[in-house]
Amino acid sequence: MAELHIIGQIIGASGFPEKTLFCKWGIHTGEAWRLLSGLKEGQTQVDSPQIGDIAYWSHPIDLHYATKGLQGWPKIHLEVWHQDSFGRCQLYGYGFLGDDFDEKEGGRETEKQSEILLTAARHLNSAQFTCSCVIQRIMRHVYRAVNIHTSI
């Protein structure tokens, strides 16, 4: 039986055409994984930064998984939305943090910060936005793979 703790936070986003942003996230796993505790999806608050370009969320992620096999390692998906002054929400980008989400140096607690580029999901005026849609997001996660008792 192996257990995996995913502890981290979604720090924020930058590089979007607008600054007032929030993020929806979710973690996807294969069939073998069981969520023991924690929320596997959620949504951050809306941050509209007054200073600087980065919308900070500092949204915590804390999950505890048990697994019976190693396939279907957790992946996180993120959607960045923009909320305009009328409260309307618009999807600005989405992305998956795939297999590199898992740690190469298993067992050792590491901290890393990774940026992922989100695919632009804007269909309107695509020409207008092609350049500004190179989106980057900062995602940070700390992993601890504890108690991997592989009883093979």
Partner 1 sequence: MEAPEDGEEDEREALKRHLRAERQKRKKRLLEQSSIQKSRDADDVKDVTSIQQYSADEGPSEKADDSVVLSKSRTGSQKGLTSRTQHTHHLDDFVKRRLEEKLKAARSKGESLQDKEASLEFPSRLHSLRDRDTVTRFDREADADRAGRRDSPPPLSTRVRFREAARQVGKGLPTAEEAFNFFTLNFDPDPPDVIETSSRRRQKQRKTTDEDEEHEDVDEDIQEENETQSEEAPLVQTQEDLFVIDQSPQDFLEIRKAEYVGYQKLLQLQSELLFTPSFRTVPTSIKLPENMKPRYLEDEGLYVGERPPVSLTNENILENRILKMEEGKKWFGDDGRIIALPNPIKESSTRPPLFHMEEALDPALQTVYRKAVKSKYANLYIAGAADPEGDYQLDVDVSGLIFSHHPLFSREHILGARLAQMYDQYLTRQRNNLTGHLTDKLNGLRNALRNMLESHSGLNPTQALQQRISEYNLEVRNTRHLRDSEQEKDRTLLKNIVKVWKEIKALREFQKFTNTPYKLYLRRENVDRVSDEQDYEDEILAEVVELEAETEEEYQNKLAEYKKRLEEWKLCRKKQKAKKKKQKKKKKGQAQDDTEGEDEEQDVSESEGPTDEPPPKPEPPERPDLGSIEQWVREKALRIRRKPGEAILIPELSASANITASELCPRAEKARREDVARRSLFTKILYNDKEVSRTDSRSLNTDFRVHFGQIFNLKIVNCPQSISLQVFEEIGSSCSLLAQVFLPVPEPSVVTGSVPLEEFEFSSNQRVMFDHEGVGSDVPLSFEADGSNKQSLLTSGKVSCCVSWGIGDDDVPLAPPISQQPGGVHSGKGHLDAVSYIGASGLYDMKKIGEWAKQSRLDPNDPKNASIMQLLKVASSGEVTAPEYFRLEHLQEEFNFVTDEELEKSGRFRLLKLRNQEVAEFRNYKFIPALEREVTDTVFQEYEKRLKEGEVIDTKEHLDSHRALVAKYLQKIRESVINRFLLAKHHYLLSDLVTEEEIPTIGILGINLFKLAEPKRPLKPQRKERKKVTAQNLSDGDIKLLVNIIRAYDIPVRRLQSNKPGQSSHSALQGSIGLPDQIQVRPFVEVSFQRTVLQTATADGPNPCWNEELQLPFSAPNGDYSTASLQSVKDEVFINIFDEVVHETVMNDKNRGKSIQTHIEKRWLGSVKIPFSTIYSQSKIDGTFKVNTPAVLLGYSKEKSHFTNSGFDILRSLSEGTFITLFITVDPQLVPGESVREKIKEMKFDTQEDERLLQASERFERDAAQRYPDRPCITTVIDLSGKTVFITRYIRPLSPPKELLDEFPNNPLEATPLVARFVSLIPSLPDQVSFSATCDLWSTCDQFLTLLAGDEEEHAVLLCNYFLSLGKKAWLIIGTAIPEGPTAYVLTLEQNLYLIWNPCSGQFYGQYDTFCPLQAVGCLVNADNVWFNIQQYTSPMRVSFDITKANLWKPFFSRTFSHPGLSSIQPEELVYRRTDRAAAAELQDRIERILKEKIMEWRPRQPTRWNRYCTTTLKQFLPKLELIRGQDVAEGHRHELQSLLGDYRISGFPLNLVFSEIRPIIEAVYSTGIHSVQASNVEFALAVYVHPYPNNVMSVWIYLASLVLT
- Nearest-angstrom CA–CA distance, 10 and 135: 15
Whichever of 71 and 119 has its CB closer to partner 1, that residue is 71
Residue 26 engages partner 1 in binding (rule: CB under 8 A): no
Q: Which of 69, 100, 111, 112 binds partner 1 (CB under 8 A)?
A: 69
- Nearest-angstrom CA–CA distance, 38 and 57: 18
Q: How many residues bind partner 1 (CB under 8 A)?
A: 22
- Nearest-angstrom CA–CA distance, 127 and 4: 43
Q: Which of 41, 52, 68, 112 binds partner 1 (CB under 8 A)?
A: 68
Q: Which of 52, 72, 106, 107 binds partner 1 (CB under 8 A)?
A: 72
Q: Where would I find the H helices in the chain? A: 126-129
- Nearest-angstrom CA–CA distance, 19 and 22: 9
Q: How far is the CB of 131 from partner 1 (least distance, A)?
A: 33
- Nearest-angstrom CA–CA distance, 5 and 1: 13
Residue 31 engages partner 1 in binding (rule: CB under 8 A): yes
Residue 70 engages partner 1 in binding (rule: CB under 8 A): yes
Q: Which residues bind partner 1 (CB under 8 A)?
A: 1-2, 30-32, 34, 36-39, 64, 66, 68-72, 105, 147, 150-152
